[in-house]
Structure 1
Amino acid sequence: MLVLGIAAPRAHAQTPTDTARVLILSPVVGEVIDAQEKATYGLFPYYSTDSFAEGRLYQALRPDSTVTLLTRFRDGNTRRRIISAQELQTARAAVARPVTSPAQVGVQKPTATQTDSIGTMYAVELISGSSFMGTLVASRSAELEFATKDLGRLTVQRNNIRNMQPLTVGQAGRGWEPVGNGTRIFFAPTGRMLRKGEGYVQDIDIFLIGANYGITDNISIGALVPIIPGAGLSFVALTPKVGVPVTEKLNLAAGLLFATGFGASGGIAYGAGTYGTADQNATLGVGYLFAEGEVESSPVILVGGATRVSRRVSLLNETYIFSGGLGGLAGIRVAAARLSGSLGFLYATELGGIYPAYLEAAYRFGKVK
């Protein structure tokens, strides 16, 4: 039987030992709960396992007996959080529940059919349309179990999950769900790739419709066509792309935008390198224009990037440097898990001003794990 114990506190620089006493969650974890125990039992899901160092529980020596979690993070910062009676009971039950293997410390090794990482926080979208964020605490053949901040423990059947994406440390800490893999700025591609089975459709400036799809984690294909063929616009553009991750944050890609229409054909062949995450990244690229068998001798240089400034809003810029000047788009993207909208303003050395020129709505689709 699980026993909730109370022990005399150790000296701690930030602990009010004269007004509170240490509360031991369980003899299994002891006075100090480390990152491995947090991950193994799915404790404190509102904190990222990657940034968590250790936590202690203290109970106030007052009639209300308030319980406080004092957490120390890997960067040295500390934070206090009031723990409700319900949350305390959930944590005690989590530690009491046996784990599959005592040797398993926070991470479940992937097999041919199982790549779920216990202790990782995920953004989960269900087929029913509802979604939540939670830390994976158990993985079974037919179901997954998550610890969530507001809903407690949730057990979800695998066949009810439409989309499940791991959150980065930054996203988990802020409570941000993924809103795209950072594969493009506005028009400009980045070095990041769509994952296998991930894709999006987009409407650009009302008159153009496009789509891109990840065939594998390293190969994607896309197309862009007029939304009303023959109504003053008649062309087809194809956008194949291949890429590889060099490190966790550095990605390289090469691709082609090939268009045919109006009695001619041409496009641009490019290579791009991107450093950063899906939410915060910078891209440097080079491309060569070609048409009717001729290749432009001078390259076009791309310098751009994106930075996510809030849960829904990102700032974007893509600048093209070419012989004779430069130009580009700067603007904003507002995104949810599936839907996004972008507004870009055109600038160029010879324009003498900034003008709205890019309006886009996009929908992400596909099951991504």
Structure 2
Amino acid sequence: MAQQPTTPQTLRVLTVSPIVGETIDKQEKITYGLFPFYSFDDFREARFIQRLTPDSTITLQATMLDGSIKQRPFTISDFRAVRASIEERQKVLAATPGFTTGGIGTLDSLGQMYSVELRTGTSFIGRLIAKRAGEFEFQTTDVGRITVQQANIKSMQPLTADQAGRGWEPVGNGTRLFFAPTARTLRQGEGYLQDINIFFVGANYGITNNISIGGLVGLIPNAGLNILAVTPKVGFAVTEKFSVGAGVLFASVFGDTGGIGYGLGTYGTADDHFTLGLGYLFADGEVESSPVVVIGGATRVSRRVSLLNESYIVAGGFGGLAGIRIAAARLSGSLGILYGTNGEDGTVVPAYLEVTYRFGKVK
């Protein structure tokens, strides 16, 4: 509770309920669903005061985050209704297990903004204002209060105030870095078209939630870009944050065929993840004895911007791509800088530029 200024003798502070005390702070407003006429984002604290006059007027005196004070008259019946609301909510909370152990849906997380994805593919941003047995209640900007069954929630990503203020729409399922895949999979009905370095175009599509198929072709075959590749992939979520996957990149380049078969493990979310993989190159019916190791990851640093890296280790050599991706819900662009070593020689050059359009199910 914040320390209160001295109250003039013509006023007295009323305690609406011993559960919240004389001063109702922001967390208590959220926990008990009080004063919906004041925004969560602006509210700091409030208290009830009563004038020591014959009419005994009761006023709710609310202090906002900017220091301004707002006053709202309350009747005796309104005041008692607030008390009854607090006591009723307290009974519900006391009967709901898990509210004091931390994590999603606990008292500590009430009032937190979340980006919520449902198992149906629908998503929204809302403030968690209540949790009852098997369900969550959110306050959203567009549709008001909504109640969602816990079993229908696929993921809840907590948002900072800046993320919530600017919006935090989904920008992909984290299925690839630059060129390298991750073990995370496209959802059924989700896909993307991709142009790489102007002269190559590719596409990938989620056949099911676990199987995807893709391809890559050169746009100008007669200009020395005779490339055709097929890239099927299978992946499974072992836990909410850990996935395993495997796939093949089979390519025809200038009439020769070959490719790489690989297995991957990815830990993290669509926005922040780390991948470790192992692959074997093959060509003309033969398989290389030395594997290719891929290590990569991505982290989303703002609403639109993510940082990416993918590194390859093969036969004593080391190289990769590091750079940036700028993304919206449907459209994104990436720029990667090529780095590598070959014995004592090294190189760093801009080498990867791509634009991607997502189609079908966005989230």
Structure 1 length-normalised TM: 0.64
- The 1:354/1:212 distance shift into structure 2, 3 A limit, reads same
Secondary structure of 2:244's aligned partner: strand
Select between 33-42 and 199-208 the one with higher mean Cα deviation: 33-42
Of the structure 1 ranges 271-280 and 200-209, higher mean CA displacement relative to structure 2 is found in 271-280
1:169 is matched with 158
* Counterpart pick for 2:46 among 54, 58, 74: 58
1:129-168 to structure 2, matched below 5 A, reads: 133-135=125-127, 147-148=139-140, 151=141, 153-154=143-144, 167-168=156-157
- Report deviation, 1:324: 2.9
Q: Tell me how far 1:239 sits from its aligned partner.
A: 0.9
Q: Which amino acid aligns with 2:291?
A: P
- Which residue is equivalent to 1:363? 357
Deviations 1:130-165 (A, max 9, x none): x97335999xxxxxx9733xx464599xxxxxxx99
With over 3 angstroms needed to count, the CA separation of the structure-2 counterparts of 1:290 and 1:153, relative to structure 1, is same
Equivalent position of 1:256 in the other structure: 248
Aligned to 2:4: 17
Percent identity reads 55
State the distance in 2 between where 1:68 and 1:152 align: 23
SS of 1:213's partner is strand
The equivalent position to 1:199 in structure 2, one of 188, 191, 194, is: 191
Answer whether contact 2:30 2:40 (CA < 8 A) is retained: no
Q: 2:283 aligns with which of 288, 291, 294?
A: 291
* 8 Å Cα contact 1:327-1:349 kept in structure 2: yes
- Paired AA for residue 181 in structure 1: N
- Segments of structure 1 that go 5 or more residues without pairing to the other structure are 1-11, 48-54, 70-79, 87-91, 96-101, 106-118, 125-130, 139-144, 157-163
| 1:313 paired residue among 305, 309, 314 | 305
Instruction: Please say if residues 45 and 62 of structure 2, whose CA atoms lie closer than 8 Å, have aligned partners that are also in contact.
Output: no
Which one has a bigger Cα radius of gyration? 2
2:46–2:60 contact (8 Å) kept in structure 1: no
Residue 274 in 1 paired to residue 262 in 2?
A: no
- The separation in 2 between residues aligned to 1:189 and 1:22, in whole angstroms, is 62
1:319 Cα deviation from its structure 2 partner: 0.6
CA 1:22 to 1:183, structure 2 compared with 1: closer, same or farther past 3 Å?
farther
Query: Partners of 2:125 and 2:13 in 1: how far apart?
Result: 30
Structure 1 residue aligned with 2:226: 234
* 2:295 maps to 1:303: yes
Q: 3-state SS of the aligned residue for 2:289? A: coil
Task: Say which SS state the counterpart of residue 354 (structure 1) adopts.
Answer: strand
Measured against aligned partners, the alpha-carbon deviations of 1:305-360 in whole angstroms (never above 9, x if no partner) come to 11112221111111100103111111111111221110001111135331000001
Segments of 5+ residues of structure 2 without an aligned counterpart are 50-58, 73-81, 86-91, 97-111, 118-122, 131-136, 147-152
Tell me the matched-pair count. Answer: 295
* Contact 2:261 2:280 (C-alpha < 8 Å) held by counterparts: yes
Check whether the contact 2:115–2:158 (CA below 8 A) recurs between aligned residues: no
Distance 1:85 1:337 in 2: 42
Seen in structure 2, the aligned counterparts of structure 1 residues 36 and 58 have a Cα distance that, compared at 3 Å, is closer
